[in-house]
Chains A and B, each alone.
Chain A
């Protein structure tokens, strides 16, 4: 074990010699990811309360009933916070606007719709147009918005038309009819305004029960931790098979070699993660960034999250070590590691909510080391039981180091 200790110490010495280069890479990566995170969190798209999806309306909006409904949606209903209605004279103009991304979708109110409204039938005559392609968050939102718009227009206006028709048939005068219809308008408006009170909207966030800020925090932080091992790639470049053989001939066999190299590598990654968490702590103290998951529980701070990152750091460092042990050549190491990390991060939902992936991809992403780390972080942030994910990460770490040891053994032979 004396030789192991000496080899460990010399690897520490080696990695600290390489530290300036490693730090330079980490600063570049952290700056890029930090800037990306800042842009995401401060973007208009992120600020849901300020985001309104633009919905085109084409057709018979001159009709007093329809214009009333459209105005109600645009000015009184809660959906006004999500929808901005833009009127178009014809379908072609609306299509052009949609192609130019001026609107996310549009609704065509056909003559048949107006007729159906007047005839008090519930025929589906409103046509809804949306872009095809990937089922993204915009499409999901637009489906919902179209549903809201259709329900409001159809049911509120059908009620009003019904009242007008019945009163007309019963021989009420025009003045009385207008008065009663106005009363009904007010009732509808009151009912719609009440929706604010009768509906409690809870933001569940994008995935894993996390709020949106916590989701992006976890995703970006974990991706940064993946890239940390990539930043320390210089640690793996100077070594050659002759060195492994020589060490082995002196009694430092492959398991000892791997452990003596892995521990300093892990130390550097852990230090860099700690420094990053310190910066995040400073940012949260200045209230430039907050998360409900942390701000709602004063005893559960960034320090607590940082301590829980240690198992992730251990696993990601082992993963990085294994990848760099397997791959040969600088370009290979850099390219393959980067592509692998991007791919793993993507399918594990680091950049895009994984709920939008097909079930199979979701399952694969969840079981990848990156996915397990994400679920673990979600458990940590939501104060759920972390035991199972911790166990899986420990298993992954052992597997990665075992594979690295086998590869090293092969290199020695």
Chain B
């Protein structure tokens, strides 16, 4: 069980997050919706340990991950919106930084990395990859420690349908294995995948039940 309680964050005088609370059950996908600049990425970076909140808790199975960096690094994986890969090097080189050789070979053969289709472009330099390949490779790098929580910042933005489908398939598999996902998104397809949705507006996180009514959703954002 993952609990996020009373997260507050300010940039100068601007209150970006105001008492953010939500919980994620194992095997759940939580979607965070909101306009650009509403604080979705800030929330994810706080959970990933890149920023410190003014107040709040981030607990997983009763352990405060805001104060336990090593545990958080093992249990939480973060996929940023932009490509965090080393572009001069191949997919193999990038993965090799995070996986021991034997484990990497195994994952590429029949593991999550194979499911993401990374085995098909393992020798390709990142600067010659498509956006979808980069995103899949980023996810592949992020999940090296078998995390329980995957934080994704607009994971399928600007990707083609086939690539999106591949990534969604992986999300489903990750869920089935008991993993949880928190996704900051604008994509309707991703919202439909979510078990719970929240709208972040003016720093306040409110629950939202998506029923396919896009105009209504837009009105709430």
Chain A contact residues, CB within 8 Å of chain B:
6-7, 9-10, 13-14, 17-18, 238, 240-243, 245-251, 412-413
Contacts and interface: CB of A to CB of B under 8 A. Distances in A.
B165 interface: no
A163 to B, nearest CB: 87
A7 B84 CA distance: 13
B12 to A, nearest CB: 13
Contacts of A247: 84
Interface residues of B, number: 31
B78 A238 contact: no
B158 interface: no
B83 interface: yes
A105 B66 CA distance: 77
Contact of A413 (B50, B78, B84, B138): B50
B93 A250 contact: no
B123 to A, nearest CB: 14
Contacts of B82: 240-242
Contacts of B127: 238
A250 B98 contact: yes
Chain A interface, >50% SS class: helix
Interface string B78-90: 1111111111110
A245 B84 contact: yes
A196 B73 CA distance: 80
B88 A249 contact: no
Given A245-B45, A250-B73, A251-B70, A13 B80 contact: no
Contacts of A412: 50
A249 B86 contact: no
A17 B96 CA distance: 16
Nearest to B82: A242
B191 to A, nearest CB: 24
A18 B84 contact: no
Contacts of B85: 243
Contact of B97 (A7, A245, A413): A7
A281 B138 CA distance: 48
